[in-house]
A and B are shown apart, each in its own frame.
Chain A
């Protein structure tokens, strides 16, 4: 619904490595055609309709832009700057689903054994133990903590099954960041994020990004591990009904395992971030 609210957020629209000098990427953001070019003289330029230039910034290996008049500040992922991490932009995958549904799916643990079988979960280890969810008032972000789940192969670097600790974070409606146990370095956490670029309310381009401790895997192996996971989700996401994320609690019956999703939906509703959402008539 409300495009106005969505316009004032920043969105990932290109991968920095994919835009060498002279290159241009034509894409769409919030129903507007935009182009991102890396001009030899003026550097990176984001151009929208009627030739209007939009601001851009570079963060997490990607180019971000906002189409609004008063963009809210871009969130930070300070852990990404820690020394020793391998930064892995994973490219872009198009999904015919609401951008909010892409984020909500990323927050869900219960589907691991069924959709990511023998990787992020396996039967009979299907129980989601109780965990904590709250909106952190200081920065108005949704956080889920103390999430634990048994995973046969938690990361490309994992040799055996482990109980993985997860922390999930939603800093802005179309981004989610998770922190999970790093198998070769159990005292540290890997960081995995999805940056969702809304093309319209029912189509998005999803840019996964990771900051991992892994001295052994090749970049191609790390990227393919993430792509395998995300493409397993894609076919589920494209079949979810209703197409838009329902914010009316009467439309679906959540269980205890869905606490993060419930908090996410309430948080979206409270901020008026309803682009890609189905809001029941009053």
Chain B
């Protein structure tokens, strides 16, 4: 197998790895880790693997990766022969992608944390997290609106990149925490484009496209 993913089904960060692997057609081994209710990510064997006690963890080619952006970069570098998912020959595109990868941790810390609170009742100042999540969403909404003027759909360039994968889950899942997308039309269009990618897979809270097709059929 190409790599082993230590996985939790409800984790948006784990889903980033599952999603990119699916889009690239990469098969892998997966180990289910009982994040809730078992707290297994903080168990001794898991801490021995990843002292930070976070998920996902990717083990491949004799290395252990514990940071999601690094996993996305490695997956693209290792398995995407087209070079389009992580275009690093263009300095500007490469730098912009790094910006969005960093921004994705802000999404995890705001919208992602709000979701963990809403679903699993993890302690949090929920009002502050919601407000910060909306600030982050407004930033990405502004960027995506400007991209539309350039006929662009994706965060960077004319092909989806690891930047889109890194930012997608916690934005798509924010309604789980009552952070709705009504005020963000450009984000809604981008989420729709992501869900339409060939090979796209869902996770709980992110639905397949068949509901949309049904509506189209009904309008014919």
Contact B32–A228 (Cβ < 8 Å) = no
> Cβ of A231: which chain B residues have Cβ within 8 Å of it?
9-10, 119, 204-205
> Cβ of B37: which chain A residues have Cβ within 8 Å of it?
15, 17-18, 89-92, 223
| A62 vs chain B, min Cβ distance (A) | 11
Judge if A105 is at the interface, Cβ distance under 8 Å.
no
Judge if A31 is at the interface, Cβ distance under 8 Å.
no
Q: Per a CB cutoff under 8 Å, which of B8, B40, B176, B208 touches A235?
A: B176
Contact A220–B10 (Cβ < 8 Å) = no
Q: Which residue of A lies closest to B36 (CB)?
A: A91
Contact B119–A93 (Cβ < 8 Å) = yes
Q: Per a CB cutoff under 8 Å, which of B9, B121, B178 touches A228?
A: B9
Judge if A180 is at the interface, Cβ distance under 8 Å.
no
Q: Known contacts A123-B210, A228-B9, A234-B205; is A220 also within 8 Å of B176 by CB?
A: no
> Cβ of A219: which chain B residues have Cβ within 8 Å of it?
34, 38
Contact B33–A220 (Cβ < 8 Å) = yes
Q: Which residue of B lies closest to A116 (CB)?
A: B204
**B165-220 CB contacts (< 8 Å) to partner A:** 175-176, 178, 202-205, 207-208, 210-211
| B214 vs chain A, min Cβ distance (A) | 9
Q: Which residue of A lies closest to B204 (CB)?
A: A231
> Cβ of B120: which chain A residues have Cβ within 8 Å of it?
91-94
Judge if A227 is at the interface, Cβ distance under 8 Å.
yes
Judge if A53 is at the interface, Cβ distance under 8 Å.
no
**A154-210 CB contacts (< 8 Å) to partner B:** 205
Judge if B118 is at the interface, Cβ distance under 8 Å.
yes
Q: Known contacts A220-B38, A224-B32; is A234 also within 8 Å of B210 by CB?
A: no
Judge if A139 is at the interface, Cβ distance under 8 Å.
no
Judge if A50 is at the interface, Cβ distance under 8 Å.
no
> Cβ of B203: which chain A residues have Cβ within 8 Å of it?
228
Contact B205–A117 (Cβ < 8 Å) = no
| A246 vs chain B, min Cβ distance (A) | 23
| B174 vs chain A, min Cβ distance (A) | 11
Q: How many pairs, one residue from A and one from B, have CB atoms within 8 Å of each other in the complex?
A: 75
Contact B38–A114 (Cβ < 8 Å) = no
Could you give, for residues 127-170 of chain B, a 1 whenever the CB lies within 8 Å of some chain A CB and a 0 otherwise?
00000000000000000000000000000000000000000000
Contact B204–A117 (Cβ < 8 Å) = no
Judge if A221 is at the interface, Cβ distance under 8 Å.
yes
Q: Which residue of A lies closest to B30 (CB)?
A: A221
Contact B34–A234 (Cβ < 8 Å) = no
Q: Per a CB cutoff under 8 Å, which of B10, B178, B210 touches A114?
A: B210
Q: Per a CB cutoff under 8 Å, which of B38, B119, B208 touches A223?
A: B38
| A236 vs chain B, min Cβ distance (A) | 9
Contact A227–B10 (Cβ < 8 Å) = yes
| A188 vs chain B, min Cβ distance (A) | 24
**A77-118 CB contacts (< 8 Å) to partner B:** 89-94, 96, 114-115, 117
Contact B208–A117 (Cβ < 8 Å) = yes
| B161 vs chain A, min Cβ distance (A) | 27
Q: A223 vs B32: C-alpha distance in the bound complex, in angstroms? A: 9
Q: Which residue of B lies closest to A218 (CB)?
A: B32
> Cβ of A115: which chain B residues have Cβ within 8 Å of it?
207
Judge if A232 is at the interface, Cβ distance under 8 Å.
yes
Contact B8–A224 (Cβ < 8 Å) = yes
| A117 vs chain B, min Cβ distance (A) | 5
Contact A235–B205 (Cβ < 8 Å) = yes
Q: Which residue of B lies closest to A205 (CB)?
A: B121
| A89 vs chain B, min Cβ distance (A) | 7
> Cβ of B204: which chain A residues have Cβ within 8 Å of it?
227-232, 234-235
Q: A229 vs B202: C-alpha distance in the bound complex, in angstroms? A: 12
Q: Which residue of A lies closest to B7 (CB)?
A: A224
Contact B34–A223 (Cβ < 8 Å) = yes
Q: A177 vs B210: C-alpha distance in the bound complex, in angstroms? A: 30
Partner-A contacts on B (CB < 8 A): 8-10, 32-34, 36-38, 40, 118-121, 175-176, 178, 202-205, 207-208, 210-211
Closest 6 pairs (CB-CB, A-B): A91-B37, A231-B204, A220-B34, A220-B32, A224-B9, A221-B32
List 21 interface pairs A-B (beta carbons < 8 Å), by A numbering: A89-B37, A92-B120, A93-B120, A94-B118, A94-B119, A94-B120, A96-B178, A114-B210, A117-B202, A220-B38, A223-B38, A224-B9, A224-B10, A224-B34, A227-B9, A227-B204, A228-B204, A230-B204, A231-B9, A231-B10, A238-B175
